[in-house]
């Protein structure tokens, strides 16, 4: 098989399994190196092994691929990948409204996120890098967001028919419920995901007011990972924020704001009981990957399975909409 394809698939599977970033990055780096190598290097084992960016493991992958074999490393990943979620709902999802690139705390260029989304059969992907308040994640200032908007427009145009790259942001919800970006810029975006990332232990009454204000903001399309909890994974665990869920979901329903079913296994957010409450309140939902690497776009499998188990009908999920209907909804 093509060594570049083998290296890219390995990186994708490692990312999807949420393996430590440096491992997948090593395979992506090797893939970039191989693209620039001529046959005189690829077919010379000594020169190939001594090429900067090629390590022992990636060297073996490249040699086995060039020999017409499925590399052992890839075969093992294909057989033992931890992703096993299955649902009928997954096939009905057309896109993803929450994904990050290297512009904030994602690992790769926007182009790689687009390529992986297309390979997964997505019809659209919203690029939602963080806003300025989240400095630890290199949140985008107004100036950087303006710059990114031009790049997104160019990539969207270059994508051609059958795929749309949508402009967006995962905007922090400030302590008073306002959104962490200027209104004019938020109004230019296709998709706005509003999320709480700080002061998760805020008093329940204050947190309720904070989230109701964000859900009622005319720019907000999706309320992201609503409790902020962590239930597993390398970052450890933490409890979710406390708030009056009935009041928050009433605001979502009244304003047409979708409640995110975050597909990351370490979040499982909202919890099942809150999904039931949001359903009863009449809320819409958005099943999103919250991907920070190309392979993590595949985490939609988890979100779709959770949504199906909790009885969310497809017609209440905005990410089942074709892109024209989706944009009509975000422009509501």
Specify the pLDDT at position 18. Answer: 87
Backbone angle region of 213, left / alpha / beta, with phi > 0 → left and psi within -120 to 50 → alpha: alpha
* Tens digit of each residue's pLDDT (9 = 90 or more) over 259-281: 999 999 999 999 999 999 999 99
Per-residue pLDDT at 81 = 77
pLDDT beneath 70, residues of the chain: 82-84
């Amino acid at each position: 098989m093509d060594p570049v394809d083998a290296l890219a698939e390995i990186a994708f599977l490692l990312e999807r399994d949420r393996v430590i970033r440096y491992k997948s990055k090593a395979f992506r780096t090797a893939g970039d190196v191989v693209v620039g190598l001529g046959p005189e290097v690829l077919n010379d084992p000594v020169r190939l092994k001594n090429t900067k960016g090629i390590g022992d493991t990636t060297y073996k992958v490249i040699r086995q691929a060039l020999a017409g074999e499925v590399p052992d490393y890839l075969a093992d990943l294909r057989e033992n990948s931890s992703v096993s979620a299955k649902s009928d709902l997954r096939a009905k999802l057309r896109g993803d409204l929450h994904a990050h690139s290297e512009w904030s705390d994602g690992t790769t260029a926007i182009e790689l996120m687009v390529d992986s989304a297309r390979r997964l059969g997505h019809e659209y992907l919203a690029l939602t890098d963080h806003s300025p308040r989240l400095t630890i994640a290199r949140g985008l200032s107004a100036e950087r967001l303006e710059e990114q908007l031009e790049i997104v427009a160019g990539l969207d145009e270059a994508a051609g028919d059958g795929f749309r790259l949508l402009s967006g942001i995962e905007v922090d919800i400030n302590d008073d419920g306002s959104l962490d970006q200027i209104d004019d810029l938020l109004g230019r975006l296709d998709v706005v995901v509003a999320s709480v990332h700080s002061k998760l232990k805020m008093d329940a009454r204050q947190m309720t007011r904070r989230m109701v204000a964000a859900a009622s903001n005319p720019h907000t399309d999706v309320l992201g990972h609503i409790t902020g909890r962590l239930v597993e994974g390398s970052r450890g665990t933490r409890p979710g924020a406390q708030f009056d869920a009935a009041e928050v979901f009433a605001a979502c329903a009244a304003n047409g704001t979708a409640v995110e079913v975050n597909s990351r296994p370490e979040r499982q957010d909202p919890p099942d009981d809150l999904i039931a409450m949001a359903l009863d309140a009449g809320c819409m939902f958005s099943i999103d990957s919250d991907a920070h690497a190309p392979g993590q776009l595949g985490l939609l499998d988890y979100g779709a399975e959770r949504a199906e188990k909790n009885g969310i009908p497809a017609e209440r999920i905005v990410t089942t909409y074709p892109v024209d209907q989706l944009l009509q909804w975000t422009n509501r």
